[in-house]
Amino acid sequence: MEIVSLDNINKKDIPLHYRNEYSGEVVYKNMLGQEESIPVEFIVERSALGTLDISVEFTSSLDYPLLPALRSVKTFIARMDKEGRLPW
């Protein structure tokens, strides 16, 4: 799965400083090379040792194999976090 972008990112207000919850839309290229979007919710959590744990949930059905899609989205989110492009 090729991720094109992660749009309409909204951060949810939660009282934990080490855990951030977001919602947004993943724009990706499907098996035919056409761009599609799907709503997604994800959590970025930092452990005490500084490691990053990312959880992703698609909020509607996905016309793509689930495990490769999850892996691609998690990698894209981790890159966005490293570059400082996620709202804090």
Q: Sorting pLDDT into bands at 50, 70 and 90, what band is 26?
A: very high
pLDDT at 1: 85
How many domains does the chain divide into?
1
17 vs 45, higher pLDDT: 45
Which residues, other chains included, contact 6 with Cβ-Cβ below 8 Å and sequence gap of 6+?
24, 25, 26, 27, 40, 76, 77, 80
Does residue 11 form part of some domain? yes
**Taking all residues of the chain, what is their mean pLDDT, rounded to a whole number?**
93
Does residue 87 form part of some domain? no
Q: Is the pLDDT of residue 17 over 90?
A: no
87 vs 71, higher pLDDT: 71
End-to-end CA distance of the chain: 27
Does residue 70 form part of some domain? yes
Does residue 88 form part of some domain? no
Q: What is the mean pLDDT of residues 29-50?
A: 92
Structural domain that includes position 44: 2-82
Does residue 51 form part of some domain? yes
Q: Which of 65, 70, 82, 83 is closest to 41 using CA atoms?
A: 70
